[in-house]
């Protein structure tokens, strides 16, 4: 199936974004892309870690009154969920 110019441009932009993110671009071969998949998992780990860090930093900088609020509990629950997701991603083996 022939690609339209817009589809070719989108594919180029996707490859460029992947390259900038440090993810090996997919090849056109039929071989498994283990290196690419590992790169994607590493990016997921980095994003989850960064998000948990920033949420915790935000919470730590709030007042003691705020830290006892429902909003603080909601953020703590979110941090816990992110840490569980990070652990799950860390356990994926390729």
The token duo for 61 is 């900088």
Cα–Cα nearest to 44, from 94, 90, 78: 90
**Per-run averaged pLDDT (10 residues), the chain, 94 residues:** 75 72 63 79 91 94 94 97 96 91
Length of the chain: 94
In a domain, 30, yes or no: no
DSSP summary character for residue 91: T
Q: How far apart are CA 18 and CA 22, in angstroms?
A: 6
Q: What is the pLDDT of residue 4?
A: 83
**Host domain of residue 69:** 35-94
Q: What is the pLDDT of residue 11?
A: 75
Q: 3-state SS of the chain: helix, strand, coil percent to 5?
A: 70, 0, 30
The token duo for 50 is 């960064």
In a domain, 10, yes or no: no
Cα–Cα nearest to 83, from 50, 57, 41: 50
Q: What is the pLDDT of residue 36?
A: 79
Q: What is the pLDDT of residue 30?
A: 62
Q: What is the pLDDT of residue 5?
A: 81
Q: What is the pLDDT of residue 60?
A: 93
Number of domains in the chain: 1
In a domain, 48, yes or no: yes
Q: What is the pLDDT of residue 22?
A: 67
In a domain, 60, yes or no: yes
Q: What is the pLDDT of residue 1?
A: 55
Output the pTM of the full model.
0.67
């Amino acid at each position: 199936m022939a690609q339209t110019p817009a589809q070719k441009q989108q594919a180029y932009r996707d490859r460029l974004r992947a390259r900038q993110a440090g993810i090996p671009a997919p090849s056109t071969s039929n071989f498994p892309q283990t290196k690419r998949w590992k790169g994607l998992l590493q990016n997921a780990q980095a994003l989850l870690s960064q998000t948990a860090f920033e949420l915790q930093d935000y919470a730590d900088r709030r007042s003691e009154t705020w830290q006892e609020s429902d909003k603080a509990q909601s953020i703590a629950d979110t941090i816990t969920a992110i840490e569980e997701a990070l652990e799950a991603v860390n356990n994926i083996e390729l």
